[in-house]
Amino acid sequence: MNNRNGAEANQVSQSVATTGAARRTPTLADVAAEAQVHIGTASRALNDATRNMVKVETARRVRDAAFRLGYSPNVIASSFRSQKTSSIGVMLPDLTNPFLPPILRGIEDVLTKHGYVSLIGNTDNDAAMELKLVETLRARRVDGFIIATTKRTHPIIENIADSGTPIVLINRTTDRNDISAVISDNAAGIRDAVNHLVQLGHSRIVHIAGPNFLSTGRDRARAFKEAMHDHKLPVSEADISSCDHYGIAEGCAATKQLFATRSDVTAIVAANDRIALGALQALRDLQLSCPDDVSVVGFNDMPFVDLMTPPLTTVRVNQYAVGAQAAEVLLDRIANSNAITKTVVLPVKLIIRGTTSPCRSRQST
């Protein structure tokens, strides 16, 4: 009886596995059975890389069977066996920063074109969250990383690179030059901005800098000094005020602090658009008009700065391209593990709008 029950149970589960197959989502085994081939052959027939190992007629039969059954390959099973997840981790400070979505879109577009998918995480520039995120992404076995949050030295990130996992940095780089990166031409952008202001007759130009521990902050400040120097304009440390964060409030505060000691300034080169927004706020608070009293130029050309009044003159970086390029570089590195590490520098373009105008040197207060 026990035996008999067992036999019955077997038969039932058997019948479930056959007639009931329509219920379950079909597996490769179902497809192979339907196409009358071995499961291994079915696998090869369905996989682009191994398609040529099987007769074209057989391949067609398998694909037909797969279609007939509505087969959807189980990517998890595939990832598990092949140790490739076709997914990449993206580490951002905060998705809500309008500068980032176009970059993400660029990343997504090239990833999906290659059958990859991205896992996005926000860190709010918090070290603990960064660590947790990296652990999560590692646990999910992402094939590579795109990182938008690095400081000039950053142990967590350097650790990823050292572990041999493909990685590419965007916007910001580390001081180490053995990690691939996609950045914009900070030096050229700042130079163009200064040139523009000089052409408008400005000579008392100051720089509201970003954090020195970020490559963008350091590079743009350095470029500012060089550009001033090229124009034989004096530039001292007093002409540069640094923010320890790329924020509107910080930009406002830094501007006010600088204006407290300098009353003849007629133009501001801000390290990025948010700092520029803060500078504009500061000018308003100081009862100064932009651009009549003081000209301002930003950096990034993030969405909507063209709709403000006055619209912001700024250095446009091609955000979408940064993302797309980063994904390309990363996928290249994944496909070809000894691809050289490279830093891609994308061109920028000064967009002249309403916050800059000819200099009418203002009176000292």
CB of 64 to its own copies, least distance (A): 18
> Tokens for 145?
């990383």
Name the packing angle between helices 28-35 and 56-69 (round to 10°): 120
* 102 lies in the binding site for its own copies (CB under 8 A): yes
Amino acid identity, residue 301?
A: D
* Total Cβ atoms within 10 A of residue 173: 21
CA-based nearest residue to 169, from 327, 339, 331, 317: 327
Is residue 229 exposed (0-12), middle (13-18) or buried (19+ Cβ within 10 Å)?
exposed
**Nearer residue to its own copies within complex by CB, 70 or 234:** 70
Q: Which member of 10, 11, 18, 82 binds DNA (CB under 7 A)? A: 82
* 80 lies in the binding site for DNA (CB under 7 A): yes
- Map the footprint of its own copies across residues 158-197, applying CB under 8 A: none
CB of 33 to DNA, least distance (A): 11
Residue showing tokens 């036999």: 7
**Nearer residue to its own copies within complex by CB, 84 or 360:** 84
Q: Which member of 37, 161, 252, 330 binds DNA (CB under 7 A)? A: 37
* 11 lies in the binding site for DNA (CB under 7 A): no
CB of 111 to its own copies, least distance (A): 10
* 23 lies in the binding site for DNA (CB under 7 A): no
* 135 lies in the binding site for its own copies (CB under 8 A): yes
DSSP per residue over 216-252, as a string?
Answer: HHHHHHHHHHHHHHHTT----GGGEEE-SSS-HHHHH
* 307 lies in the binding site for its own copies (CB under 8 A): yes
SS3 163: coil
Q: Residues near 322 by Cβ (< 8 Å), separated by ≥ 6?
A: 103, 106, 170, 171, 182, 183, 184, 346
The CA distance from 216 to 275, in Å, is 13
* 96 lies in the binding site for its own copies (CB under 8 A): yes
* 21 lies in the binding site for DNA (CB under 7 A): no
* 49 lies in the binding site for its own copies (CB under 8 A): no
- Residue 46 contacts residue 63 (beta carbons within 8 Å): yes
> Tokens for 209?
């800098």
Q: Which member of 34, 41, 121, 208 binds DNA (CB under 7 A)? A: 41
Q: 54 touches which of its own copies, DNA, none (CB within 5 to 8 A by kind)?
A: DNA
CB of 55 to DNA, least distance (A): 4
The CA distance from 241 to 176, in Å, is 26
* 54 lies in the binding site for DNA (CB under 7 A): yes
Q: Residues near 8 by Cβ (< 8 Å), separated by ≥ 6?
A: none
User: Binding residues for its own copies, how many (CB under 8 A)?
Assistant: 39
The CA distance from 203 to 360, in Å, is 11
CB of 77 to DNA, least distance (A): 3
Site of interaction with its own copies (CB under 8 A): 72-77, 79-80, 85, 94-96, 98, 100-102, 104-105, 108-109, 112, 117-122, 135-136, 138-141, 277, 303-304, 307-309
Site of interaction with DNA (CB under 7 A): 27-29, 36-41, 43-44, 46-47, 49-50, 52-55, 57-59, 71, 73-74, 77-78, 80-83
